[in-house]
Structure 1
Amino acid sequence: MNAVPSNGRHVVFATTGSLGDLHPFLALGNELKKRGHRVTLATSAVHREHVRAAGLDFHHMRPDPEDSPAFHARYMHPKTGGEFVYRHYLAPAIRTSYEDLAQAAGKADLLVSQSLMALAAPLVAASTGIRWISAVLQPMSFFSLHERPNYLPLPLLSWMCGRSPELHGRVFHYVRKHTEEWVRPVLDLKRELGIAGSAAQDHPMYEGQHSPSRVLAMFSPLLGSPQPDWPQPAVQTGTALYRQEQPASPELQRFLRQSSLPLVVFTLSSAASNDAGDFYRDSLRAAETLGVRALLVMGGLAAGATLPQPLPPWALRVDYAAFEQVFPHAAAIVHSGGVATSFKALQAGKPQIVVPHAHDQLDNGLRLSRLGVAAVLPGRRTGARRLRNALQAVLADRRMQESAAAAALQTRGEDGVARACDEIEEQLGHA
């Protein structure tokens, strides 16, 4: 463990999920460490080496995901993925999550939790008295009645609710009741712990996920602006990007420079890449018919996907690439709509095609579409022809290219890491 500087404090971050859920907290942890604080990440065992490589303390917080195609298929199912995550993965493990996090936070000064995923954090805060703040990584997680609810299974109902907060409120009432069964073990443990007051009535997936002291809205104003029903202590910090100072391989550097043909980057989030289907094979076929180069960033279980061997000279597959290094070389970026990938594509000023798989990805994609910087292909199994047609349209769309360049200029004033750490240090002053 790292020694605590004499003037420093101890901050515990609680998160689970994919690398997209981990990286923002690694970014904050690195900055807080530079400011003289000690940082512990309480998260799943799968992230142990990522945390240690960042120079931060690791504390195991269960549950741990199964690294199997069957688990990831259920986790990323477009219709039932949310129910699986809560009813079958997070909620049943709440007692072990609580034990692990209570131990991690035992001698800490501040607990910072990821909203929606770190279900034990509000319980630990209420039962131990540790000062607690929460962080929201994507705008959909606020479930505002003043925005279109893109998580509903019926597009027409989503559209109608987006036009009427009153109707949205009535629909949301039934959503709350329906999802209570998903988190029944959390509600049972809350009663056993004797958590009283208004917190006893809070739904763990909705108002219960937010701290009454401070809520960090850690996403760009380009993706979502404050709404009247956001929690009162919410502060929008902007996106907290984790930048790994890892140079591109010589092979990748040569590929990025080797041709004047347009380059398209095809990638899925760290979660969606574990249930990629034919995405990369379809991407290769679409690129071939359009005569463009293809960079296939294939992490997770997708790294084992079968593609033609050898690949044609206009294509390259890599397990990992720092997006801030490769996106500026692209004519277009095709991705699944993860919020961090979306923002890095915005920063690069490039047109996007979003192929959403599950959870917040459709919502993020539709927000990008409203900005005029992306096309959305609903249905994760797009097929090569559909993807080719969308790419052809995007590559020829001058208005989208201009909108993407304008959005890139707007992102340059954001420093989500510094702003969020300023808020954390303010809360440490109250701890």
Structure 2
Amino acid sequence: MRVLLSTYGSRGDVEPMVGLAFRLRELGAEVRVCAPPDKEFEGLLAGIGVPLVPVGPSARALTKEAPPASSISQRAAELVANQVDVVTAAAEGCDAMVVTGMLPTAAAALSVAEKLGIRSVSVTFQQLTLPSPQRRPLAYPGRPLPKDVADNRVLWEMDAESINTLFGEGLNTSRASIGLPPVDSVREYVIGDQPWLATDPTLDPLTDMPDFDVVQTGAWILPDERPLAADLVAFLEAGEPPVYVGFGSMAMHASADVAQVAIEAIRAQGRRAIVRRGWADLALIDDRDDCFVVGEVNQQALFGRVAAVVHHGGAGTTTTATRAGAPQVVVPQIADQPYWAARVADLGIGAAHDGPTPTFESLSVALKTALTPETRTRATAVAATIRTDGAAVAAKLLLDWSC
């Protein structure tokens, strides 16, 4: 069986697909992945022997560029057209497609599956884009939701209209180019009747979504067997467990002095620090031996050896830290990250920082909560409930469903 996994976005949109590809290959499927042409994505896929079909511009470059809200529609139309071209070629001979990533590019990939008659499923790595009467939709840049509207169903209708305004014309132009009729609702087209939700039920319990039959598989985790570098191990063994600080692909959204603020706040708690460079190239602030900087690293191995994890609240990092039993301080930057911060706080496994810009004082308060024995005990208990078989469950579902 041949399967195409299609995504476009940051590492949080790509790494779970690598986890699924790994499990699909174990079951004998032939897999290829359409994703941005970033070197780190190539490395992830090369590590499991799965080819990357590069699509669109570099995700890192696109994130750094941060185009103004006024150009979102034009940029999306360009990405959609490129997706249609690349995915059409990559999908040749495939029996099934799994699609995720930015909504307009997901719509483009699903359109290719429709054109070629390939069975497809849409997956999301957070449930906030799935309409529910119990919550408000996420707002798009430059298109805030009215604060005086309390009815969530009305807000979701506004959300659908906003998505159509932003992405409808570009999508339907590309669909017409391959002989497909226009779609009336871009959002509903992408979600479909039975979307998959690749998150852990403990960390992300399903809310009521009466319009959809959601399949929650558990998070798609790529097993990481890479050893930690010798110099990092030496640092870990040279003293008490340090506090890890990393913002991944969201580092460029964080404040310019976030590394300095974090290191000073960690030192004030009598702790050492590990700083991950991330996409914004965070660096140490001096040459004292109580801090260590890392680049690409096995977080699954590292998080089990730290006192706490300070991060941006991406779904992947939150799940990895929770699974490792590491107390967390989540400093949310954008999109779904405030949700994950709130889940960490609600579960009692860490602290949710109020807002995206920490100060010495605010981060110190959050660290005090995360570094208590009670938080460590709770984090250890919750870690035991986190499923590790999400990607395997999804792979078997896909193969059974496609037969």
TM-score normalised by length of structure 1: 0.83
Measured in 1, the distance between the counterparts of 2:72 and 2:118 equals 25
Measured in 2, the distance between the counterparts of 1:19 and 1:275 equals 15
Partner of 1:132: 120
Contact residue 56 and residue 82 of structure 2 kept, 8 A: yes
Describe the superposition over 1:78-119 as per-residue Cα deviations: whole angstroms up to 9, x where unpaired: xx8xx5895354333211210110111121111111153523
Contact residue 349 and residue 407 of structure 1 kept, 8 A: yes
Partner of 1:378: 354
Long gaps (5+) in structure 1 = 1-8, 162-166
1:336 corresponds to 2:315:
no
Partner of 1:62: 56
Q: Secondary structure at the match of 2:122?
A: strand
Measured in 2, the distance between the counterparts of 1:347 and 1:274 equals 26
Partner of 2:153: 169
Measured in 2, the distance between the counterparts of 1:103 and 1:96 equals 11
| 1:220-259 equivalence runs, <5 A | 220-229=200-209, 232-259=212-239
Q: Secondary structure at the match of 2:66?
A: helix
Measured after TM superposition, the shift of residue 374 of structure 1 is 2.8
Describe the superposition over 1:238-293 as per-residue Cα deviations: whole angstroms up to 9, x where unpaired: 00111232100111111112213x52111112x21244422212111111222111
Measured after TM superposition, the shift of residue 63 of structure 1 is 4.0
Contact residue 331 and residue 395 of structure 1 kept, 8 A: yes
Partner of 2:87: 101
Measured after TM superposition, the shift of residue 126 of structure 1 is 2.0
Provide the identity percentage.
Answer: 23
Measured in 2, the distance between the counterparts of 1:11 and 1:257 equals 44
Shift in alpha-carbon separation, 1:332–1:26, aligned structure 2, 3 A:
same
| 1:253-292 equivalence runs, <5 A | 253-260=233-240, 262-269=241-248, 271-276=249-254, 277-292=256-271
Measured after TM superposition, the shift of residue 190 of structure 1 is 3.3
Partner of 2:273: 294
Shift in alpha-carbon separation, 1:86–1:52, aligned structure 2, 3 A:
farther
Measured in 1, the distance between the counterparts of 2:18 and 2:109 equals 18
Measured in 2, the distance between the counterparts of 1:306 and 1:414 equals 33
Contact residue 139 and residue 223 of structure 1 kept, 8 A: no
Measured after TM superposition, the shift of residue 156 of structure 1 is 10
Partner of 1:202: 185
Measured after TM superposition, the shift of residue 294 of structure 1 is 0.7
| 1:121-160 equivalence runs, <5 A | 121-149=109-137, 151=139, 157=147
Measured in 2, the distance between the counterparts of 1:85 and 1:362 equals 26
Q: Secondary structure at the match of 2:106?
A: coil
Contact residue 200 and residue 218 of structure 2 kept, 8 A: yes
Q: Secondary structure at the match of 1:417?
A: helix
Partner of 1:5: none
Describe the superposition over 1:16-45 as per-residue Cα deviations: whole angstroms up to 9, x where unpaired: 111221111111111211221110111111
One-letter identity of the residue aligned with 1:280: A
Measured after TM superposition, the shift of residue 155 of structure 1 is 11
Q: In the comparison of the two structures, how many residue pairs are matched? A: 395
One-letter identity of the residue aligned with 1:113: V
CA RMSD of aligned residues (A): 2.7
One-letter identity of the residue aligned with 1:308: I
Contact residue 24 and residue 240 of structure 1 kept, 8 A: yes
Q: Which moved more, 1:182-191 or 1:290-299?
A: 182-191
Measured in 1, the distance between the counterparts of 2:316 and 2:179 equals 38
Measured after TM superposition, the shift of residue 169 of structure 1 is 0.7
Describe the superposition over 1:159-188 as per-residue Cα deviations: whole angstroms up to 9, x where unpaired: x85xxxxx1011222222233222131133
Measured after TM superposition, the shift of residue 360 of structure 1 is 1.5
Q: Secondary structure at the match of 1:259?
A: coil
Shift in alpha-carbon separation, 1:51–1:89, aligned structure 2, 3 A:
farther
Contact residue 90 and residue 119 of structure 1 kept, 8 A: no
Measured after TM superposition, the shift of residue 66 of structure 1 is 6.0
Measured in 2, the distance between the counterparts of 1:225 and 1:120 equals 29
Partner of 1:418: 392
Q: Which moved more, 1:185-194 or 1:30-39?
A: 185-194
Contact residue 11 and residue 109 of structure 1 kept, 8 A: yes
1:321 corresponds to 2:301:
no
Contact residue 297 and residue 319 of structure 1 kept, 8 A: yes
Contact residue 73 and residue 275 of structure 1 kept, 8 A: no
Match among 158, 173, 181 for residue 188 of structure 1: 173
Shift in alpha-carbon separation, 1:299–1:414, aligned structure 2, 3 A:
same
Long gaps (5+) in structure 2 = none
Measured in 2, the distance between the counterparts of 1:84 and 1:340 equals 30
One-letter identity of the residue aligned with 1:139: Q
Contact residue 63 and residue 89 of structure 1 kept, 8 A: no
